[in-house]
Amino acid sequence: MHMTFSQMKRRRKTMISMVMRRVTQDLMEVILVITMGTSHLVALEVVLVDGRQWVVKEIVNPSPLTLVVTLVLVGVHLVLTSVICSLACLAVVWVWVKYSGFSGSGGQNMRSASSGSIENINSQFFNKRIKDQGMTWLLLFYTPSAKGYHVLESIAEDVANSLQGAVKAGKINCLVEKTLCKDLGVSPSKSSRLYVYSYASGGRGSLVEYTGDFDTKSLKTFCQDYLPRFSKRVDLRRFDFSSQTMDNLPQVLLVSTKKDTPVMWRALSGLYNKRFMFYDAEVHDASHPMLKRLGVENFPAVIGRMVNGEEHVLREGITVKDLKSGISDLRAMLDDFEKKNGR
């Protein structure tokens, strides 16, 4: 049976189209295997079929360039789809892990491991490292099922990090530490509660409950308000170390341009309470006779008076990188001055 030239041409074109369709389908499967993995082929069968139909439609009149461009576009589309789906799944898992707590102690342990700045407090820890030790503590009282536990824990951690050196944070599980919570006057409730262990009102520490808005800024302000106030604010024009002597303690005076007692100095006054007498004054020039006599020209400056009456400039032109490092540097200065006083 003989075929005309036109019939042979049409048959050849039909065969090429069939081959190209088969090749396209096979390449699509390869792209899916590479980009998504063989385990996803069944789940993405509809996408594969749609892709085949689209590719076949585009290459009815096949050419190498059309085929390459089409396959590249389909491959890019599938890769982007895979990435977006993966990121969405990861986001869902992250939210579930963060807020579900894994419905038990496992979630609590995971959270504790990530909250390095919040101490787990028991009776022994409280009595040895918190009670009347001079440091201000932000304490979270909770039960694992209490409302708002993770939210308050996160806020407390943020505040403790921003006030490192002046405030520490801890949490007390009132289901486990029933006696401690009872001794502190905090009873378990359906909601978590925040307290500041403060020395603002006297020489001994006491708990003050926070009842403000649950946000970092408000809680930070509350903690700063309840930092120790053992440093006496004085008017430098009427101040004289010798008239302030009591308990035979060394004395330290901070002179700065600050209108109020700096947070750093208040924190130190708690840590060194009953070891130093603390004073602070606002100054804007070095015209005071004491400053002239001691040669103080740069502020802030710390002046110390030893128990034998000698006065020394302990530090002037003080600069600090942050609250934590500033308190650490000044603690080293006070420790050294205390040794010179033979205490």
> Of 101, 130, 162, which residue constitutes the final position of a domain?
101
Residue 128 confidence (pLDDT) above 50: yes
Do 272 and 321 reside in the same domain of the chain? yes
- Find residue 119's DSSP bridge partners: 170
Question: Does 20 reside within a domain?
Answer: yes
State mean pLDDT over 49-76: 52
pLDDT band at 100 (very low <50, low <70, confident <90, very high): very low
Is 302 inside a domain boundary? Answer: yes
Are 118 and 111 in contact by the 8 Å Cβ rule? The answer is: no
Grouping H, G, I as helix, E, B as strand and the rest as coil, residue 206 is strand
pLDDT digits (tens, 9 = 90+) for 182-233: 999 998 788 899 999 998 656 788 999 999 999 999 999 999 999 999 999 9
Same domain, 304 and 330: yes
- Do 94 and 133 sit in the same domain of this protein? no
Looking at per-residue pLDDT, the higher value among 262 and 78 belongs to 262
Higher pLDDT, 150 or 67: 150
Number of folded domains in the chain?
A: 3
Residue 97: what pLDDT? Answer: 39
Tell me if 255 is assigned to some domain.
yes
Domain-embedded: residue 109: no
Residues 136 and 43 in one domain: no
Same domain, 220 and 235: no
Do 236 and 329 belong together in one domain? Answer: yes
Q: Are residues 124 and 173 in the same domain?
A: yes
Range of the domain at 73: 12-101
Residue 61 within any structural domain of the chain:
yes
Name the domain boundary from 68, 101, 134: 101
| Separation CA 59–CA 64 (nearest Å) | 10
- pLDDT-based confidence at 1, cuts 50/70/90? very low
Q: Please tell me the predicted confidence (pLDDT) of residue 72.
A: 64
Which of 28-42, 103-117, 243-257 has the highest average model confidence (pLDDT)? 243-257
Q: What CATH number has the domain bearing residue 121?
A: 3.40.30.10
Nearest to 159 by CA among 224, 220, 225: 220
Average pLDDT over residues 315-340: 95
The first and second tokens of residue 78, run together, are 């599938």
DSSP 74-120: HHHHHHHHHHHHHHHHHHHHHHHHHHHGGGSHHHHHHHHHH-TTEEE
Q: Are residues 268 and 291 in the same domain?
A: yes
C-alpha 303/C-alpha 296 separation (Å) is: 9
In a domain, 108, yes or no: no
**pTM score of the predicted model:** 0.64
- Please, where are the H alpha helices in the chain? 5-36, 45-58, 64-100, 105-114, 123-125, 149-162, 178-183, 216-225, 263-271, 289-294, 323-340
The pLDDT value given to residue 145: 87
Say yes or no to pLDDT of 49 above 50: no
| Residues 92, 129 share a domain | no
Give the pLDDT score at 35: 44
pLDDT > 80? residue 312: yes
* Rounded percentage of the chain residues whose pLDDT exceeds 70: 64
Q: How far apart are CA 263 and CA 225, in angstroms?
A: 9
Q: pLDDT class for 244, splitting at 50, 70, 90?
A: low
Among 101, 136, 154, give the residue marking a domain's end: 101
Please report the pLDDT score of residue 16 as a whole number. Answer: 46
The answer on 151 and 128 residing in a single domain is: yes
